[in-house]
Amino acid sequence: MMTPAMLTGQTDRHLVVLSGSHRLQPNAVSAFKGLQQAAKLQGFNLQPASSFRDFDRQLMIWNGKFNGERPLLDREGQPLQDSGALTVAERCETILRWSALPGASRHHWGSDLDIYDPDLLPAGAKLRLEPQEYLSGGYFAALTAWLDNHMDEYGFYRPYAHDRGGVAMEPWHLSFRPLAQEAQQLLTPDIVLSSWKERVVAGSSWLALQMPAIFRRYIGNVDKE
């Protein structure tokens, strides 16, 4: 069973190397390598763009966005021009659309990863992890279609396949079901809040009061298949 430290990205002792700097839990690595091999036989070079992300990295992303050091995006993914005028509540909800709270990211679990095919990325283009890259007409549309039909055979699904009014659609994000669904059941508001002790989480006073609602809208509000 995953411990609170595993659930919140505060340990990496349960992880092994997938490739390069990418790490996942052993069962997820084995499953993804099987998916990679099957994709290769169909002409795809399936690779991780992001995998395990620890608490400190997620904290840096969150605080950077809250404090104006990183851009904020509107609901359609466009940069906000007047983000400084947002209230604390508006700022937090704007960030939650695109980035998880520290301690509450699925990338903490070692079960989830973002994928792409570097061979399909046009020369000079930078991977942006935006829906238009993966959907009809995008660079990775054929890979998306192939994964639609085959990722379940290896235990993977997309938790953000649809916009359910919380986190934006993320067709690049895959979860290894046996581990991810266990972690999702174990993670609670109290575990997340406990991970913030002695840490400075921007907006924490408002977030702590709203944590049950945040769980309902952003953390538990995902596709299950």
How far apart CA 208 and CA 38 sit, in angstroms, is 44
DSSP 8-state code for residue 107:
G
**pLDDT per residue as tens digits for the range 85-104:** 899 999 999 999 999 999 99
> pLDDT tens, 13-22?
999 999 999 9
The model's pLDDT over 134-149, given as tens digits with 9 standing for 90+, comes to 999 999 999 999 999 9
- pLDDT single digits (tens) 153-170: 999 999 999 999 999 999
Average pLDDT score, the chain: 96
The predicted pLDDT at position 75 comes to 87
Q: Considering all CA atoms of the chain, what is the largest pairwise distance in Å, rounded to the nearest integer?
A: 51
Radius of gyration of the CA atoms of the chain, in A: 17
Strand order in the sheet with 156-157: 47-50, 112-116, 173-176, 156-157
Please enumerate in sequence order all residues whose Cβ is within 8 A of that of 123, keeping only pairs 6 or more positions apart, or say none. none
The answer to whether 47 touches 129, Cβ cutoff 8 Å, is no
Strand-pair category, 173-176 with 112-116:
antiparallel
